[in-house]
Amino acid sequence: MIVAVLAILLAIRGHVAGSLQTILWDSTAFPEDGLAVDVNLNDALTIKCPRVDESEAHKAQYSEIYFVPKQGYDECRTDISDARLLLECNEPYEETSYVLLIQGYSPIPNDLLFQRGHEYYFISVGGGSCEHNHTKLKVKVCCGTPSPPSNHKPTDKEEEEKTENSKETGNKDQQSSYSPTSSSPVSVSCGLLLLVSQILIGCLV
């Protein structure tokens, strides 16, 4: 039963995902300023450890890949708050990877979540280090303007735009109140994810 639920959960998550990208975490191939990729919500980004044949043991690479805040990215540090180990590249003769879902919602506790208009950072330490091999990755989530800090005071122009947007939203809500109820594929998928996760938790309990 648990296996079946997991299969359904993975299938739904795969359906929600948009485009796919793959990053080969090869410490010999990173540019001096690191890598940068643009993604959209519901994309999937696969980070792969470099694999070598046993006959080329001298080319084996060992590293640990972390999700870090911007300070960790800028200073090549993982010993700071909010740094999280994602992937250990410690089996160079095997296929090892981590699939990063660019999602704004997840039923899985402590899963990574993303917002439009924000940037997210990843670095590695070990044999191929951020400091010496520039092994770091910046993921930019399109599109939109990042949310202002909590102490940000809106300008007169921002207040006017906010008022206009509120009026437009109110008009749209009135127009749509007479329309049949409908859900987008992503909304339906997220609902299914939540339902399946609850079933899975029930099975485990």
pLDDT tens-place string over residues 28-53:
999 999 999 999 999 999 999 999 99
As a residue count, the chain comes to: 205
Say how far apart CA 46 and CA 21 lie, in whole Å. 6
More confident position, 57 or 147: 57
> What was the pLDDT predicted at 20?
85
Is pLDDT larger for residue 152 or for residue 27? Answer: 27
Mean pLDDT of 129-151: 77
* Cα atoms found within 13 Å of the Cα of residue 28, Cβ hemisphere only: 5
Among 56-65, 77-86, 107-116, 193-202, the least confident range:
193-202
Q: Residue 13 and residue 166: Cα distance in Å, rounded?
A: 33
Q: Which is more confident, 150 or 56?
A: 56
Confidence of residue 124 (pLDDT cuts 50, 70, 90): very high
Best CA proximity match to 29, nearest among 137, 183, 135, 185: 135
Sorted by sequence, the CB contacts under 8 Å of residue 68 that are 6+ apart come out as 77, 78, 80, 82, 83, 84, 121, 122, 123
* 85 vs 166, residue with greater confidence: 85
